[in-house]
Amino acid sequence: MACHETINCPRCNTAFECRVGSILRCQCQQVKLTEEERTFIAGAYAGCLCAGCLNDMKISYRQTQFKQRLLQLHILRLKDKNSKSTIWHTKNR
C-alpha cells in the first residue's frame, strides 16, 4: 500500500484516503478504540474501515457486550431464584 491510497471501505464501500504512511494523520485516528474493540472489528473485517464504520462497529461492540452482560445477570437471577425455591421446598417437607 502506498503512503496515501484511496481505498473503499469493505463495510460500506465508501471511498476514503488511507494514510498508512502517516498513520497519525489518517482518518481512522478520529475513532479511539480499545484493544477489545480492535479485536472485535478485526474478526469481522480484514482491511481498513472508514471512520464512520469504525465508529459504528465500536457502538455495535458495546451493544453486544451490554446484551451479553444483561443475559448473564438474567441467568444469575434465575439460578438464585431457583436455589431459593429449592431451599424453601426442602425446609417445608
Q: What is the pLDDT along the chain (93 residues), one digit of tens a residue?
A: 456 789 999 999 999 998 877 888 888 899 999 999 999 999 999 989 999 999 999 999 999 999 999 999 999 888 877 776 555 555 555
Domain that holds residue 41: 5-66
- Whether residue 80 lies inside any domain: the answer is no
Phi first, then psi: what are they for 18, rounded to 5°? -90, 125
- Whether residue 86 lies inside any domain: the answer is no
Number of domains composing the chain: 1
Whole-model pTM over 0.75:
no
Residues 54 and 66: their CA atoms lie apart, in Å, by: 18
Q: Position of cell 455495535?
A: 60
Angle between helices 35-44 and 51-91 (to 10 degrees): 110
